[in-house]
Structure 1
Amino acid sequence: MILSLLFLSLNLSSLFRLSASRGSAADRFYRSGDVHVDGIYVRSGRQLLAGENFRMTEEQYIQMLDKLAQGYMSNFDLDKAIKDFHRRCSNISRIYSIGKSVLGVPLWTIEISNMPGKKEAEPAFKFIGNVHGDEPVGRELLLLLANWLCDNYKSDPLATLIVDNVHLHILPSMNPDGFALRRRNNANNIDLNRDFPDQFFPLNDDMDLRQPETKAIMNWVDDIEFTASASLHGGALVANYPWDGTEDKKRKYYGCPDDETYKFLATLYSGSHYNMSKSTEFPQGITNGALWYPIYGGMQDWNYIHHGCFELTLEISDNKWPNASELPTLWEYNRMSMLNLVAGIVKTGIHGRVISSDEGKPLPASITLRGINYTIAASKSLADYHRLVAPGQTYEVIVTMPGYKPKSACVDGDRAVTIDFVLEPAHGNDSQVLEGSGCYIGSKSRFQVMEYMPEPQLQLYVLLIILISAFLCLAMRKKSLRSNHHMVNQRHSPQPKRAAV
């Protein structure tokens, strides 16, 4: 105990509203490339019913969106706003581009942290806005979020918690070309949220055919090991979670291995929202994607499957393109949801590092929870891991690494827990299979709880542990000798005889 303590639907104002970005029942009739069909409005790959007497040409559609775009940042304005933010808040931010769009527009990203650009044993979170060009609310709210964090750092506890304990990355616009063209798809008329590799069908497997925006996201996630993520959409009001598709293409509930954790994260967002959780269409304001309607090649499922990143698809506005005068209200409705979702990855979950007992070096081990068929990996550089879980359960964490004996520990999912695993090398015929449940709550022999430490200091800390242990042993031995001496003195002193009964 002493050692542990030491190391511790598009809206034209009052005229009409179009249906959801992720969709409605009409979205199942998927057609691509058309803009207008008699009696039916087809927008960027989504076929939407618009009334018997309603007709709109492509030119009228563009003119309408141009009017709606008044008051929104142009791509030039967004570029300037990002750079202005960094100049104002350079102490907690950096800006970088993850790539370029089809038309060569940089995909500028903001990182917010008390140590921006530095690798730390902390979770990373990313927000992505404007995946679809005609859903611009997200790009506006993400700039407001960045500025709010800058303005309230060190004065607001939530802002300070996020900046000090999370590396937050914000990509305001994934699809600047679609925004400029006033359409859902990118400049090549491809829906970017259908352009990722799919788990059920051989879609988008040819890297050469992927869009540059998609490639940029994939390279970005390869480079930074994100714990969680959210993409911001418009046209509905709901927090959507995996799976997005089904093996048989049928519309039904189809949960991923971490279904309970995803429902917790989705509820965390909807419950903090002004009115999302009051939805009459979606109980609690959340939905499984495949139950709403199946899609394939989506970004959300790809993040979880290939990188252990828990991503939500957030529909944050009933209208795809509301009047700019509504943006301050939409910001207030979504602000606490966005903040609580990011803060949730440090307020809950299981965190720590995996190191070797012989050299104290970081190990990029595999982390699993007994009973959940899903594995995440500790980072390659610092071997830190961040495993999100649903509260209300006890979890057995199992850590494995080739060449080392596995270890496990039991944790309570109701609060954030930090556990550093120290793995011993496996020699000869040593078993690398974990025997028994390994679930011993409070057993410090199964795990060690320590504060994060930089890699160069690990060996020094191990040596320090040995020295402190030796000191404590000597102190206890001296105390024992004094106690024995006192007992001997008492034994030789006259004692009154006990009466016999």
Structure 2
Amino acid sequence: MMGRRPTIVRGSGLVLLGFLIFSTACSASGKAGWSSARHGVRRTVLLGRSVHGRPIVAVELGNPHAAQRVLVVGCVHGDEPAGVPVANALAAQAGPTNTDLWVVPSFNPDGMAARTRGNAHGVDLNRNFPAGWRPIDSRGSVHYSGPGPLSEPESRYAADLIRRIRPTIGIWFHQQMAVIDDSEGPKDVERRFARDVGLPLRTLTRYPGSITGWENTVVRDSAFVVELPAGRLPARAVRRYAGAVRRITGP
């Protein structure tokens, strides 16, 4: 439900994260699993479950009291999964000192499993948010916007997280145009990120019902899209993108 608080799952680390993402058998303890690491908090949060019951998790790293709150999402469209290794790499690192970093490897685990753009209902989650939402196509179309805004559980969990943490910067990975979208969001951050990863800035079309469009109504000029190249990212590129995020979050 939209008002439900996320569940904090015991433990942390990349192994647990991968288990939570790809296993349908996991369950939440409902209790906080805080780390006393010198870099601050590390916790894995079960945000909810997909249409088919797969867990959707976030990892919080760093300083939960920091003024800068950065949200990184690896995958929204299930057939565009190249950002997931970047998110996993970030989740495995020590937390930043002066930033509250939230990492969500995927908001669409069903689509990833099926290798489809939409979720298990065939809804394009990036057309399912309230800002400018309108009916687009019908079920079976890859751009189907759903029966109404936030009709999908995955969309509701994303919206709930954004409302709760109010990210000052949101980075949403997609594929496969190999550009940084500067149509909305923080211009200075976009320019720096583009320079660090070696992608051009380009103004892309703003689509009705997009996630970043809606996030920017919650926190003005906070969210932008990174369009990764097609295919899997080489390990060197994963490190480059993760490093670009960490230059935003600081040490």
Bin for the TM-score computed over the shorter chain: 0.7 to 0.9
Report if aligned partners of 2:66, 2:100 keep a CA contact under 8 Å in 1.
Answer: no
Q: How far apart are the structure 1 equivalents of 2:220 and 2:70? A: 12
Q: How far apart are the structure 2 equivalents of 1:132 and 1:205? A: 14
**Residue deviations 1:340-383, cap 9 Å, x none?**
2333xx9xxxxxxxxxxxxxxxxxxxxxxxxxxxxxxxxxxxxx
Q: How far apart are the structure 2 equivalents of 1:339 and 1:121? A: 15
Aligned to 1:340, which of 241, 247, 250? Answer: 247
* Stretches of 4+ aligned residues off by more than 3 angstroms: 74-80, 201-209
Other-structure match for 2:51: 102
Q: Matched residue of 1:190: which SS?
A: coil
Q: How far apart are the structure 1 equivalents of 2:146 and 2:112? A: 27
Q: How far apart are the structure 1 equivalents of 2:111 and 2:72? A: 18
The aligned amino acid for 2:131 is D
User: Shift in Å at residue 170 of structure 1?
Assistant: 0.3
Q: Does 1:178 align with 2:111?
A: yes
Q: How far apart are the structure 1 equivalents of 2:151 and 2:67? A: 31
User: Shift in Å at residue 197 of structure 1?
Assistant: 1.3
Q: Does 1:269 align with 2:193?
A: yes
Q: How far apart are the structure 2 equivalents of 1:313 and 1:208? A: 20
TM-score (norm 1): 0.39
Other-structure match for 1:134: 79
Q: Matched residue of 2:116: which SS?
A: coil
Q: How far apart are the structure 2 equivalents of 1:197 and 1:208? A: 5
TM-score (norm 2): 0.75
Other-structure match for 1:440: none
Taking a change above 3 Å as real, the CA distance of residues 174 and 95 of structure 1, as seen in their structure-2 partners, is: same
Greater relative contact order, per chain length (Cα 8 Å cut-off, separation 6+): 2
User: Shift in Å at residue 268 of structure 1?
Assistant: 0.8
Matches within 5 A, 1:190-229: 190-199=123-132, 202=134, 210-229=151-170
Q: Structure 1 regions of 5+ residues with no counterpart?
A: 1-73, 81-86, 151-161, 244-257, 277-284, 347-501
Q: Matched residue of 2:91: which SS?
A: helix
Q: How far apart are the structure 2 equivalents of 1:267 and 1:240? A: 10
Q: How far apart are the structure 2 equivalents of 1:187 and 1:314? A: 24
Q: Does 1:287 align with 2:211?
A: no
The aligned amino acid for 1:305 is T
Other-structure match for 2:220: 308
Q: How far apart are the structure 2 equivalents of 1:336 and 1:109? A: 19
Other-structure match for 2:62: 113
The aligned amino acid for 1:236 is M
Q: Does 1:122 align with 2:67?
A: yes
- Once structures 1 and 2 are overlaid, which stretch shifts more, 208-217 or 164-173? 208-217
Report if aligned partners of 2:149, 2:209 keep a CA contact under 8 Å in 1.
Answer: no
User: Shift in Å at residue 226 of structure 1?
Assistant: 1.4
Higher Cα Rg: structure 1 or 2? 1
Q: Structure 2 regions of 5+ residues with no counterpart?
A: 1-16, 24-32, 136-144
Q: How far apart are the structure 2 equivalents of 1:337 and 1:267? A: 11
Taking a change above 3 Å as real, the CA distance of residues 270 and 223 of structure 1, as seen in their structure-2 partners, is: same
User: Shift in Å at residue 106 of structure 1?
Assistant: 1.4
Q: CA RMSD in A?
A: 3.1
Q: Matched residue of 1:335: which SS?
A: helix
**Residue deviations 1:189-235, cap 9 Å, x none?**
11111111133x64579767611100111111121121111111121
User: Shift in Å at residue 180 of structure 1?
Assistant: 0.5
Q: Name the structure with the higher helix share.
A: 1
Q: Matched residue of 1:235: which SS?
A: strand
Report if aligned partners of 1:268, 1:340 keep a CA contact under 8 Å in 2.
Answer: no
Report if aligned partners of 2:22, 2:109 keep a CA contact under 8 Å in 1.
Answer: no
Report if aligned partners of 1:263, 1:286 keep a CA contact under 8 Å in 2.
Answer: no
Q: How far apart are the structure 1 equivalents of 2:168 and 2:176? A: 27
User: Shift in Å at residue 130 of structure 1?
Assistant: 1.2
- Number of equivalences: 216
User: Shift in Å at residue 306 of structure 1?
Assistant: 2.6
**Residue deviations 1:273-322, cap 9 Å, x none?**
1x31xxxxxxxx112223xxx42111111111133361010012x21x33
**Residue deviations 1:73-125, cap 9 Å, x none?**
x9757457xxxxxx9x76330011122111111111100014xxx5x252211
